[in-house]
Chains A and B, each alone.
Chain A
Amino acid sequence: MAKIDYALIASQPEFEELLKKRNRFILPISIFFIIATLLFPILTGYTNLLSNEAFGNISWAWIYAFFLFIMVWTLVTIYMKKAKEFDREADEIIRKYREGNYK
C-alpha cells in the first residue's frame, strides 16, 4: 500500500470541519455525564436531598441512580446515530483522497 500523505489530508478544510464537529459533539456531552455521575456520590454523601421518597417507597436516590442508567443508554444511542453521520463524512474524505482530488 502506498504511503498515506497524512499532512495533506489534515490540511483539507473538510477534515478540519469534521474534527471540529466531532469535538463540539463529544466535549459538552462528556462534561455532562461526568458531572451527572459525580453529583451522585456528592448528593447522596453530603446532602439529604435524595433521601425523601419520590414514588411509594422508592426514594430520589434510587430515581437518580435509574436516571443515570437511562442516561447511559440514551447517550449511547445518540452517539451511535451521530457517529454514522461522521462516518459518512470520513468516508467521503478518504474517497476524495484516494481519487487524488486533494492536491
Chain B
Amino acid sequence: MNLTVIIMFIVFVGLTLVITYFASKRTQSTKDFYTAGGGLTGWQNGLAISGDYLSAASFLGIAGAIALWGFDGFFYSVGYLTAYLVVLYVVAEPLRNLGKYTVADMIAARFELKKVRAFAALSSITIVIFYMLAQLVGAGALIQLLFDIPYSVAVIIVGIMMTIYVLFGGMTATSWVQMVKAILLMVGTVIISVLVLLQFNFNIFTMFGEMKNITAPELKGPFLNPGSQGGSPLNNVSLIIALLFGTAGLPHILMRFFTVKDAKTARSSVMWATWIIGIFYILTIFLGFGAAAMLTREEIIAANPAGNMAAPLLAEKLGGDLLMSFVSAVAFATILAVVAGLVLSGASAFAHDIYGQVIKKGNITDKQQMLAAKIAAFSVSVLSIILAIFAQNQNVAFLVSLAFCVAASANLPVIIYTIFWKRFNTQGAITGIITGLAVSLILVIMSPNVMDPSGNAFIAMEPLFPLTNPAIISVPVGFLGAFLGTFLGKAESHEKYREVKVKSVTGIDTSETTH
C-alpha cells in the first residue's frame, strides 16, 4: 500500500466523519433518523439514490466484465437503468404520498392488520440481508485486493464505518455520504473515460473497430456481439425481469423517497437519478474498452479472474499512482455508501415495523423509537459483519440478483395491487408476499448457485432448477399468489382503497403523515 492511497483513504474517511458529526447534531427525532428530516431537494436525493444504487459491483464489476466479455459485460446495465421507469411511473409518487419510513408503511396504509405489516417487513429484511451479505463479502475481497489488507480486517473496517455513519448520523449522514460518493464516482469515471477517448482520438468508431479484433479462447462468440459469454438466453431474460421489476421493490432504494418533502420532489429525484445512473453506465463502456485496449487480458485476469481490477489497473496505466489511488478510494467510498443505506433500511424494518408497530402497536414515544432504531442498526451491522466473515470463501455474488428477485416477486406485486386494484384485500397481500418470497427462495436453493455437481457450491449435486435467477417464474407466481389470495379471502370494504387513491393521487395527506 503506498502513501498516496493512504492519504486519499484518510481524507475520505475524515470527510465522512465530519459529515457524520454535523449530521448527528441534526438528528434529534426518529423522523430525522429515518428520513433526514424529509427536507432533501430533488437533485440531492437523485445523487443519493445513485450513490445508494451504484455498488462496487457496478463500478469495478461491470467495467471488468466489459473488458473481458465485451457486449455481454454491458448487457445487464440496460435492465438496471430501465428499472427506474417502473420506479417513476408506478411506485415513487404513491409511495411518497402513502408511506412514512418504510415500504411496509405504504402497504399498511391500506391494510392496517399487524400481520400484513409483519410479512412486508419480513420480505424487506430478507432482501436487505441478502444484499448486504453479497456487498460485504464482495467489499472484503475488493479491499483486500486494492489495499492489500486481510479480508476479515477489511470487512471489520467497512463494518465499523457503516455503523458509525448510521448510528450517529442516521439518514442525514447516510444521504450525504451517498451524495459525496456519487460525485466522486462520476468524477473518477469521467476522468478515465476522457483519457481513454483521448487514446482513440475521440473517435468511437476507431474504438469499436479495435475492439472488434479482440479474440480469446474463452470467448464463445465475437467480442462486440451478444453471446460471447455463452450464457443461457432464458437465464438472461429471467435476470432482466428481476432487475426491471426488482429495483422498484428494494427497501433501501424506496426508503430514499421519504427523505423528500412531497411527491413532486420524489419524481424530480428519480429524474436526476436516471441521468446520473444512465451516464455512468454509458461511461463504463469506455472504462471496459479502455482496459481491453490498453491492458492484456492475462494482466486483468491475473489480478482478479472476474475482472474487478480492470478499472484500477487502467487508471494506473493512464494516470499513474495518483489516479489509481483515487479510483481505489472511490471504490471504497462506493462500498460504504451502499452498505450504510442497507443498514438503515434493515434497522427501519426491525425497529419501526416489527418493534414499533407490530409489537408495541404504535404506542411508543419518539425517544423509545429512536433508541430502538439505534439498537436495531447496531445489531444489523454486527450480525452482517459476523455473517460476512464466515462467508469469506463462499460464492455469494448471486445474492444480489436474488435480492432483486425477491423484491420483484414478493414486494412489487403487492405494492402495485395496493395502489391500483380495488378488490385487493388483506388475504391477497399476505399470500402475495409469502408466495413471492417462498418461490424465489425455494427455486434458488434448487438452482446452480446452490447445487453444483462439481462441488463449487453449497450442495454437490445436479441442480433441480436450471436457471441461476428464478424471476421469470417467481415474479408471475408472486402476482398470481396475491391475485388468488384476494379471491380466497373475504371481500373488504372499499373505503380504505378510496382513501389510498385520494392520498396517492393528490398527496393531500403528505403533510399529515410526515408529522
Contact = CB atoms under 8 A, between A and B. Distances in A.
Interface of A: 1, 4, 6-7, 9-10, 15, 18-19, 22-23, 26, 29-30, 33-34, 36-38, 40-42, 44-46, 50-51, 55-59, 61-62, 65, 68-69, 71-73, 75-77, 79-80, 83, 86-87, 90, 93-94, 97
Given A26-B89, A30-B86, A87-B264, A7 B498 contact: yes
Contacts of A4: 502, 508-509, 512
Given A10-B502, A58-B205, A62-B71, A26 B90 contact: yes
B278 interface: yes
Interface residues of B, number: 59
Given A9-B506, A37-B82, A56-B208, A80 B225 contact: no
A8 to B, nearest CB: 9
Interface string B71-97: 100110111011011101110010000
Nearest to B236: A41
B240 A40 contact: yes
B119 to A, nearest CB: 25
The 9 closest A-B pairs by CB, nearest first: A45-B233, A44-B226, A10-B498, A56-B205, A6-B499, A57-B208, A41-B236, A90-B506, A41-B237
B275 interface: yes
B505 A18 contact: yes
Interface in B193-211: 204-205, 208-209, 211
B233 A69 contact: no
- B contacts with A: majority SS: helix
Given A50-B226, A76-B271, A15 B278 contact: no
B244 interface: yes
A40 B503 CA distance: 36
25 contacts: A6-B495, A6-B502, A23-B420, A29-B89, A30-B85, A30-B86, A33-B82, A33-B89, A34-B86, A36-B82, A38-B240, A44-B227, A45-B236, A51-B226, A57-B212, A58-B224, A61-B225, A68-B78, A72-B81, A72-B274, A73-B275, A76-B84, A77-B271, A83-B267, A93-B506
B233 A46 contact: yes
Nearest to B511: A1
B506 A72 contact: no
A74 to B, nearest CB: 10
B501 A68 contact: no
B237 to A, nearest CB: 4
